[in-house]
Amino acid sequence: MTEKKKSNELQSYWSGNRELRRRWAKLRRNKAALFGGVLILIYLFTALFGPILYPGNPSAPNLIRSLETPSRQHPLGTDELGRSILGRIVHGSRVSLLIAIGVVSLGLLLGVPLGLVSGYYGGKVDFGIQRITDTMLAFPGFLLALALVAVLGVGLKNTVISVGISMVPIYIRLVRGCVLSVREQVYVEAARALGTRDVAILMRHILPNVMVPITVQTSLGMGTAILFAAGLGFLGVGVQPPTPEWGAMLGSGRAYLFHAPHVATFPGIAIFLAVLGFNLSGDGLREALDPRFKL
């Protein structure tokens, strides 16, 4: 015990800049995280500049050229309506990014404040929030999103709301857990004893400590959001055609699996790579930032 305490003291003595540098160095050495970062950059680039790279309306049908295998003109082939699959994937990246950002923002906006309040104040507020969280977590996340879609209806906006709300309990849990552990720390007690206002304590002392897990969860959450939205699209209850959405593209390609498997293959690869990017960087961030991971 004493030995451990000592080493902690030493660690804090060496901390500060050196610690940050060490962690940054560790993140850069992590080739997997680096690869994830590259995947995310490609994804963002495609989403932002895609329509410039691939001009034209990706939803305009061209029935003469339906279900063509990959060719020079259409590197990934065409779908049942003769539309370029590459074009639709490129344009679809923008849709999925929009959804992912919307979902994660909604999750953060609702989940973080609720988690902070729940963890910091405890008591009845905490009890109420926790019972709601428990109930929501009693359902697998995807099913929760599906149930919400059932109530709200299909479409892009409702996809964002449904998936977003289904993620709120995860953020509440995460933030609440962190707050509970930080709240008992000596410096927070000291701040409270000095009469610092609650809001100030939350902002200055607790939020920074919660930032690391939130950052990690945000990266992982982007991946989950893409997966969930694509799942809803695949089932036909998400973003509706003719909007190019990866999941919906897969769903419609399913009918041509026997004769033109490429229609379903390529959108899946796009989803996979985007999600992989966020998962890799989430893992890398956790390893680099979380002090519980030894260096």
What whole-number distance in Å separates Cα of residue 183 and Cα of residue 205? Answer: 9
Distance between alpha carbon 31 and the CA centroid of its chain, in Å? 21
Please give the structure tokens belonging to residue 231: 């799942």
Question: For residues 137, 141, 144 and 149, what is the CA-based torsion angle, rounded to 10 degrees?
Answer: 160
Candidates 89, 103, 116, 146: give the one binding other proteins (CB under 8 A): 146
Q: How far is the CB of 53 from other proteins (least distance, A)?
A: 24
Residue 203 to residues 52, 105, 183, 229: CA-CA distances in angstroms? 42, 19, 12, 33
Candidates 28, 131, 197, 204: give the one binding other proteins (CB under 8 A): 131
Please give the structure tokens belonging to residue 57: 């309306």
When asked if residue 151 is in the footprint of other proteins (CB under 8 A), the reply is: yes
When asked if residue 138 is in the footprint of other proteins (CB under 8 A), the reply is: yes
Nearer to other proteins, 151 or 194 (CB): 151
Q: Which residues pair with 78 in a beta bridge?
A: 84
Q: How far is the CB of 200 from other proteins (least distance, A)?
A: 34
When asked if residue 125 is in the footprint of other proteins (CB under 8 A), the reply is: no
When asked if residue 15 is in the footprint of other proteins (CB under 8 A), the reply is: no
What whole-number distance in Å separates Cα of residue 237 and Cα of residue 159? Answer: 8
Q: How many residues bind other proteins (CB under 8 A)?
A: 56
Binding mask 258-287 for other proteins (x = CB under 8 A): x--x--xx-xx--xx--xx--xx--x----
Candidates 113, 141, 177, 241: give the one binding other proteins (CB under 8 A): 141
Task: Tell me the residue type at 289.
Answer: L
Would you say the C-alpha torsion 12, 13, 18, 22 has a positive or negative sign?
negative
When asked if residue 135 is in the footprint of other proteins (CB under 8 A), the reply is: yes
Please give the radius of gyration of the chain, using alpha carbons only, rounded to the nearest integer.
23
Candidates 37, 231, 238, 244: give the one binding other proteins (CB under 8 A): 231
When asked if residue 143 is in the footprint of other proteins (CB under 8 A), the reply is: yes
The answer to whether the CB of 267 falls within 8 A of the CB of 89 is: yes
User: Can you state the angle between helices 262-289 and 31-53, rounded to 10 degrees?
Assistant: 130
Q: Kindly list the residues in this chain that would bind other proteins in the complex (CB under 8 A).
A: 1-3, 6-7, 10, 13-14, 22, 25-26, 29, 32, 131-132, 134-135, 138-143, 146-147, 149-151, 223, 227, 230-231, 234-237, 247, 250-251, 253-254, 257-258, 261, 264-265, 267-268, 271-272, 275-276, 279-280, 283, 295
